[in-house]
Amino acid sequence: MAEFRYHGMSAAGRPVQGMLAARNKREAHLKLSELMRAKRFSLSSLEKKRTYVYKVQKGTERPVVGERKAYSPEELTRALRAIGYRVISVRRKLLDFNMRPPTRDVVMFIRLSADLLRENLPYDEVLQLLGADIQNKALKDSIKEISSDLKDGKEGKEVFAKQEGALGRFAAHMLGVASTSGNMVEIYESTAKFLERNQTFKKNLRSALIMPSVTVFLLLCATLFYVGYIFPKTAEMFLKFKMELPPMTKFTLDMSHFLQDHIFIILAAIFLPIAFGLKFAFSKKGRFYVDKYIIRLPIIGSVLHKTSIEIFCRVFTALYSGSGENIDVIRTAAEACRNRYMERQIKEITLPMMIKEGKGLVESLEKTGVFTDTALNRLRGGAETGTLRKTALQVANYYEKETTYKMKAIIDWVQVFVAFFVLIVMTAITVVSSETAIIKPKRPGVTAH
């Protein structure tokens, strides 16, 4: 997330200054509007922290070129002069953007942090070591910024919230929670585990659904191109010599003419529903309905459903304290489960029942209708024996193993069906193409009876 600095004037005529984090300037203005209404001040300026490229020299040494973030070139110039440098030039970086680090690098950072914290190494030293060893520039800059902000005394949640762009929304939230908790190691390990499972799940989903769909779609497009354009060039040549076409060749040629005559209608009938469907699926309302009904699909729906329950239980285990207020824990676990329908059910049914009616956790979760009987029975047993946290972890581990095995089986079957479909299409094309080889012209003077 980008960092912004604002200047303003209060109703009493006193200057007001502060900083806030936002994804873009529009979001910064929205946050600032709420802040202005709450604190009653008028805005004078809003500056975004940008990256500047500087060239400096100290004494007779060779000039040094580097990058540094600042709110203005004048501010960076003053800072460099204050530490004894002669500033040669300061210019704004032309392409000021960082690609998001790969998930594997973020997981490595979190796992190594957990290992070093387990060895009782101070967190500032952990960040210093990892910041020096991490190769990805975006993640390296993020770690350095985290270290600098924590040394400045900023709150952990605020510091990590600024790094959503690099770490991801969920990871940044979890690490922010860990910074104020007494079990940093466990939360870090749970976060790394969640990211690994999420990455594995996406990879398996691509293998099971997306890649086969793309393969079949491209094969159909190639087949239509062959039937509609390439095949007629050969078949129509026989018609010029008034040769009698075999049945399959004649049928395919008729289909080619139909495709040529109605190509735009056919393309519209294929692509318009797909375009509108994708547009709806990626809208806020569409995502909700997709998540609601996808867990009810045969075979794959059960795997997606249990994976979401696994993630909920794993995050719940990492944050659950066993005493005090755990409403935020349930809300965070619901947001992490990667299913908007389940998230809404938990937030709109479970939380109100617990807060307003004083109901228990398991009873409130049961009313949502999104948890399996197995998960509810195990959680109920854990709540009755005082081992809810341990039981939730057992449910997460159980569903992890079950969904892993089932997803592997689904991928294997999908690959078999796709291969079988490709075989059928290629065989049909081969048969139709080879049939043209047996077409014989009529002999002169010979008439058909």
Q: What pLDDT does 272 receive?
A: 92
6 within 8 A of 32, measured Cβ to Cβ: yes
Amino acid at 46: L
Of 426, 434, 441, 449, nearest to 249 by C-alpha is 434
- Phi first, then psi: give them for residue 179, nearest 5 degrees: -65, -20
Q: Enter the tokens of residue 40.
A: 């009653």
Q: What pLDDT does 380 receive?
A: 92
Q: What pLDDT does 246 receive?
A: 78
Q: What pLDDT does 135 receive?
A: 85
List beta partners, residue 66: 54
Q: What pLDDT does 449 receive?
A: 47
Q: What pLDDT does 256 receive?
A: 87
Tally the C-alpha atoms within 13 A of residue 204's C-alpha that lie toward its C-beta. Answer: 21
Tally the C-alpha atoms within 13 A of residue 33's C-alpha that lie toward its C-beta. Answer: 6
User: Running along the chain, 449 residues long, what does each successive block of 10 average in pLDDT?
Assistant: 83 84 82 86 87 88 87 89 89 77 89 90 89 86 87 84 83 85 83 85 80 86 85 77 77 85 87 90 90 89 92 87 72 88 94 89 92 93 90 93 90 88 88 74 56
Q: Distance between CA atoms of 263 and 269, rounded to whole angstroms? A: 10
Rama region for 168: left / alpha / beta (φ>0; ψ in -120 to 50; rest): left
Q: How many residues belong to the chain?
A: 449
Q: What pLDDT does 101 receive?
A: 86
Separation in Å, CA 12 to CA 37, 43, 45, 236, 435? 15, 14, 18, 89, 92
Q: What pLDDT does 288 receive?
A: 92
Q: What pLDDT does 207 receive?
A: 79
